[in-house]
Structure 1
Amino acid sequence: MDKNENLEFVTLEELRYKLMQDPEFVAEYKRLEEQEKLMASLKAQREAQNLTQKDIAEKTGMKMQNVSRLERGLVHPTLDTLSRYANALGGRIEFVLN
């Protein structure tokens, strides 16, 4: 028996629909979506202020490659890291509970 005989192919939309039925998956998906929005906002503000990733690294004490990873969503930032990034932009992080 060929090892590929039992494979079932599904579309990406079918997979997404199935995964979105799982409450744990949905909660994690929403958490990551919020994190992505926050980082996009911080990056947009950095760019609006004509600051480079190097500028942010110097102001926060982070390495430039870590700023890049953060902005690309490759790492899960701590509250301290997000706060330092926001402070480097002259702002702060606020939480809103809905």
Structure 2
Amino acid sequence: MYIEDWDSFAQQAEALYRSDPIRTRYVMKYRHCDKKLVLKVTDDKVCLQYATDQAADLKRVEKLNNLFFALMARGADAPEPELLEETAAVTNQRPHKNRRKG
């Protein structure tokens, strides 16, 4: 089933992955003949699809990719990538020593 609203698709896709991460698959393909990007998330029981031909949606797709990468690498209980970036920025703030060049 194609979902027209991006926010609805992203929320349902994340919920589907978190409910059964072993069985859930995420596929992204570009259909050159239609000039559309098609995203598909399925667990063989529920199939969610989203299609777009707008270049403005690429940032949203990138955020969803980052979310799925984090969930796949760290497990279904991992926090969202924005939270991970904020914590990494706080922990990486170390005082720099002045070094002489030359």
* TM-score, with length taken from structure 2: 0.24
Larger strand proportion of the pair: 2
Larger helix proportion of the pair: 1
